[in-house]
Structure 1
């Protein structure tokens, strides 16, 4: 269950804000948030490209209220107009926290120095945060995920990357011919590249060790699927929200000409996942 503080906090009480896209709510973002006061808040600019923590999923990773502004509604504003809007929204604002590369306003032509000049209050600029010499940026994390490098993505995120989906009807082959799976339809989240992953699956409030397949069913009907198998046994569920957190990748997607070979590989994947958790 995601926390939702934004509607519970009076904006007049907010004295400091962090502004940015904050897709991923990763380690570098958390460093920004550390500069906020007790009466702080997070202002997220929604560009439409957020797919690591889309929409209100960001609220799950902070105890501060998160407010969302659609970029298309504000990108025409000049610098003074943008600051005026922020001051109208948060009348007692005393501090703004941004990253070193923050830009705003029409054509993104206003940046950190302009912010310091236009805002009559404290401006905190957080330097670039690195992990073993590599800058932590959402775009790098997306690349890791798209390439199946889940361990590196998690390292930069500071948590396990996860997707959330709703259960849908599958082929029906899992329980009858292979192993039972929960089939998911996932929207808005960036999906790892095709393959088999060691995962944890959360259903309601219970978390299970699992193996998850993402990709085209090249050995059966060729359709794209997201299927997660619970290692502890067959779990009957019809819950809309099923969360799958990725821990590591076992292998790429592969075509098998014989169902026996496919089932043997699935059992090997399960064995490897069990050894990982043990």
Structure 2
């Protein structure tokens, strides 16, 4: 369950901070958080490109409070002014944790190494974290997601990639001609490429096995849709927030010559997803 510590913790109580963009809150980011003490906090610098884990969802992936700072508001600062701002914001700050590739200040002039001389306290610099000799970076995870390589993205994230949105009215064909689906509109999140995925769908904090289609309905009206079908469960007239965790990609989106062909393929997709869940209990 998402925690919202940021409005509850007095900044005067914070003695250590991890600084970074933290889009993804992935495995490498978690290594920074491990170096915080019990009164630690996460300082997320908002660049405007955070679409793996948008701002309101990052608190879900750490037990430390998350504070947000807009890059545009602080990028003009020189090194001394940046550290002064941190000390003013967190007056009892004794430790700063950053990644090896952390840069700050005007024109990214200052590096993680510069903090060692600028901050009168402990500075911890985390070396590059790799997965099978590939460096873990948010930019790589974005590419995996856009390619539909969900399994690889999940390996780098350390969890299943998740999106969230609001339920919207669909075509109405699913319930009458195919299988019932929950249709949703998603904003801010990076969407996997078009196709059918093995997923888990979360409704009112309850998790269900599912398959999800993202893409243009090329066999019907051609519009873009995100539709999730709950396996072996009749969910009707659901209203509210929908969350989807992606596990693996089943197939690409494709055009079928008839509704009957499409229906047969949907049944095959469902059988394949059910087999996955039956063998991965």
Q: TM-score, normalised by structure 2?
A: 0.97
Partner residue, 2:183: 183
1:40 aligns with 2:50: no
Partner residue, 2:165: 165
Deviation at 1:240, TM superposition (A): 2.5
1:2/1:239 Cα in 2 relative to 1: closer, same or farther (>3 Å)?
farther
Deviating beyond 6 angstroms after TM superposition, the runs of 4 or more aligned structure 1 residues are none
Partner residue, 2:142: 142
SS in structure 2 opposite 1:6?
helix
Partner residue, 1:230: 230
Aligned equivalents of 1:107, 1:239: Cα separation in 2: 47
**Alignment: residue pair count:** 278
Aligned equivalents of 1:140, 1:237: Cα separation in 2: 38
Partner residue, 1:91: 91
Deviation at 1:81, TM superposition (A): 1.1
Aligned equivalents of 1:115, 1:193: Cα separation in 2: 40
SS in structure 2 opposite 1:191?
coil
SS in structure 2 opposite 1:257?
coil
Partner residue, 2:17: 17
Q: How does 1:48-197 map to 2 (within 5 A)?
A: 48-197=48-197
Q: Are 1:203 and 1:239, in contact at CA under 8 Å, matched by a contact in 2?
A: no
Deviation at 1:237, TM superposition (A): 4.3
- Alignment RMSD (CA, Å): 0.8
Comparing 222-231 with 113-122, greater Cα deviation is found at 113-122
Q: Are 1:208 and 1:232, in contact at CA under 8 Å, matched by a contact in 2?
A: no
**Unaligned segments of structure 2, at least 5 residues:** none
Q: TM-score, normalised by structure 1?
A: 0.98
